[in-house]
């Protein structure tokens, strides 16, 4: 079944998903707020800085006109980075009809309100049916058609299965889930742990350290996520441990890259300048620390990342503090024989 799709945001991920949807046989138009970007994509048929080497089809419409991009679409894909999600949703709202399906594919938590992206979109566009797509999926690899898996989270099975059938392909396998909140928390909180993994790499630490950060990191994420209403299964799945593994291990992750530079001695500002892209983990780090406090959950890695980013703490000292914390059991909920 062919659909008419509007993709909002033409960075790495918006571009890669537009091509995927086009190749699945859908009619796709792509909107960008940036006139120069629209010009470049229209002329060159390639995003030269964000997804080099991946060609856009000649008949894909690229536009700077938001109304045109969102009107009369079967579904919309919101692919702008998280700091711009609310503002973009607000501008779209007047053109959105009742029940319009909008899939958000960005990852982040708003620092001031502590809202997830789907919650922000619902606040700005209450008439929309908001879903999310997330998982271990670097745009560079999806662009090269390397086998990838993702999860669609939606409010109804009907919407989830509809979107699954739209996105799924021979190289892009999509699962469904009713746990939108868990998916969004996993996707945004893993960026904070990725900064920590980058810092560890920058300090010259090894695979043991990386594995420790990944497994203890997902323990932190799940502790908070479950308390907030997310499901434990989600944190053990593709959008939890899966996305955390890819982000902490990959050469493509800008969060890991920024952390690496900080581990090598740069300040947070210098690292952001060098990476030259939105490092969402920096925003999510503050939000995660606030959420941990609000929900009374211990998140030691998140706390140390915040201290390094915002209080100028020496990264090696932060690692020392993690290692020398009070002695703990790995799973506090597991009972010992003979104890109640
Ligand atoms: N890149 C990936 O591999 C990947 C994979 C999965 C999820 N994501 C998520 O998708 C989101 C987008 O990531 P990306 O890699 O495409 O980012 P990006 O930095 O490549 O995107 C930048 C794009 O956002 C748009 N933009 C810039 N300023 C804007 C503004 N003020 N208002 C509206 N739009 C604006 C422009 O089209 C610009 O090219 C992020 O939340 C990211 O976490 C990315």
Q: Tell me: the pLDDT tens digits for 291-315?
A: 999 999 999 999 999 999 999 999 9
Domains of the chain: 4-178 (3.40.50.720), 181-323 (1.10.1040.10)
User: 63, 65, 80: which to mutate for ligand 1, most atoms within 8 A of CB?
Assistant: 80
Q: Which atom of ligand 1 is nearest to the CA of 142?
A: 3
Provide residues with CB under 6 Å of ligand 1. Answer: 9-14, 32-34, 37, 50, 79-82, 84, 88, 105-108, 137-139, 277-278, 280
Cα four-point dihedral sign 321, 325, 329, 332: negative
**Is the confidence at residue 278, as pLDDT, over 80?**
no
CB atoms inside a 10 Å sphere around CB 35? 9
**Ligand 1 centre distance from Cα of residue 123 (Å):** 21
Residue ID of nearest Cα to ligand 1 atom 17:
11
- Stretch 130-140: mean pLDDT, rounded? 97
| C-alpha distances in Å from residue 73, one per residue of 30, 159, 238, 270 | 12, 15, 29, 41
- Stretch 275-286: mean pLDDT, rounded? 86
CA distance linking residue 169 with residue 165, whole number of Å: 9
- Stretch 45-66: mean pLDDT, rounded? 96
Among 218, 20, 224, residue whose Cα is nearest residue 103? 20
Mean pLDDT (the chain) is 96
**Is the confidence at residue 277, as pLDDT, over 80?**
no
- Stretch 205-220: mean pLDDT, rounded? 95
**Ligand 1 centre distance from Cα of residue 14 (Å):** 7
Share of the chain above pLDDT 70, in %: 100
| 200 sits in which H/E element | helix 180-202
pLDDT of residue 252: 82
3-state SS, residue 12: helix
**Ligand 1 centre distance from Cα of residue 305 (Å):** 23
Residue ID of nearest Cα to ligand 1 atom 9:
106
Partners of 51 in the beta sheet? 47
Share of the chain above pLDDT 90, in %: 93
Residues 6+ apart with CB under 8 A from 86: 110, 120, 121, 123, 124
**Ligand 1 centre distance from Cα of residue 51 (Å):** 11
pLDDT of residue 271: 92
Tell me if 7 sits within 8 A of 32, measured CB to CB.
no
pLDDT band at 276 (very low <50, low <70, confident <90, very high): confident
CA distance linking residue 27 with residue 42, whole number of Å: 16
**Ligand 1 centre distance from Cα of residue 317 (Å):** 33
- Stretch 6-33: mean pLDDT, rounded? 98
- Stretch 45-57: mean pLDDT, rounded? 95
Per DSSP bridges, beta strands 101-104 and 75-78 are parallel
**Is the confidence at residue 51, as pLDDT, over 90?**
yes
User: 11, 275, 287: which to mutate for ligand 1, most atoms within 8 A of CB?
Assistant: 11
Its pTM stands at: 0.96
Q: Which atom of ligand 1 is nearest to the CA of 82?
A: 41
pLDDT of residue 137: 97
pLDDT of residue 65: 98
- Stretch 57-80: mean pLDDT, rounded? 97
Residues belonging to the active site: 190
Residue ID of nearest Cα to ligand 1 atom 15:
12
pLDDT of residue 275: 86
**Is the confidence at residue 239, as pLDDT, over 90?**
yes
3-state SS, residue 61: strand
pLDDT of residue 17: 98
């Amino acid at each position: 079944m062919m659909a008419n799709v509007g993709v909002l945001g033409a960075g790495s991920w918006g571009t890669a998903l537009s091509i995927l949807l086009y190749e699945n046989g859908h009619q796709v138009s792509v909107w960008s707020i940036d006139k120069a970007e629209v010009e470049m994509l229209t002329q060159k048929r390639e995003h030269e800085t964000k997804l080099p080497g991946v060609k856009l089809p000649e008949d894909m419409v690229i536009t700077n006109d938001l109304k045109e991009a969102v009107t009369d679409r079967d579904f919309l894909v919101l692919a702008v980075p998280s700091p711009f999600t609310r503002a973009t949703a607000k501008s779209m709202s007047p053109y959105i009809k009742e029940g319009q399906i909008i899939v958000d594919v960005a990852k982040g938590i708003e620092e001031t309100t502590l809202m997830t992206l789907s919650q922000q979109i619902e606040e700005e566009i209450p008439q929309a049916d908001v879903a999310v797509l997330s998982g271990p999926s670097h745009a560079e690899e999806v662009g090269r058609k390397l086998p990838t898996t993702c999860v669609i989270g939606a409010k109804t099975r009907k919407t989830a299965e509809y979107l699954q059938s739209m996105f799924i392909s021979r190289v892009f396998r999509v699962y469904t889930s009713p746990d939108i909140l868990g998916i969004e928390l996993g996707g945004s909180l893993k960026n904070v742990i990725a900064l920590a993994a980058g810092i560890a790499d920058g300090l010259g630490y090894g695979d043991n350290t990386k594995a420790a950060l990944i497994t203890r990191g997902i323990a932190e994420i799940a502790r908070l996520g479950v308390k907030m209403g997310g499901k434990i299964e989600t944190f053990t799945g593709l959008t939890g441990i899966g996305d955390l593994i890819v982000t902490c291990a990959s050469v493509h992750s800008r969060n890991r890259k920024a952390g690496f530079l900080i581990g090598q001695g740069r300040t947070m500002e210098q690292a952001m300048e060098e990476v030259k892209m939105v490092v969402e983990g920096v925003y999510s780090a503050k939000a995660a620390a606030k959420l941990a406090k609000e929900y009374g959950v211990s998140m030691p890695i998140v706390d140390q990342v915040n201290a390094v980013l915002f209080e100028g703490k020496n990264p090696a000292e932060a690692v020392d503090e993690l290692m020398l914390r009070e002695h703990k059991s790995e799973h506090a909920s597991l009972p010992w024989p003979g104890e109640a």
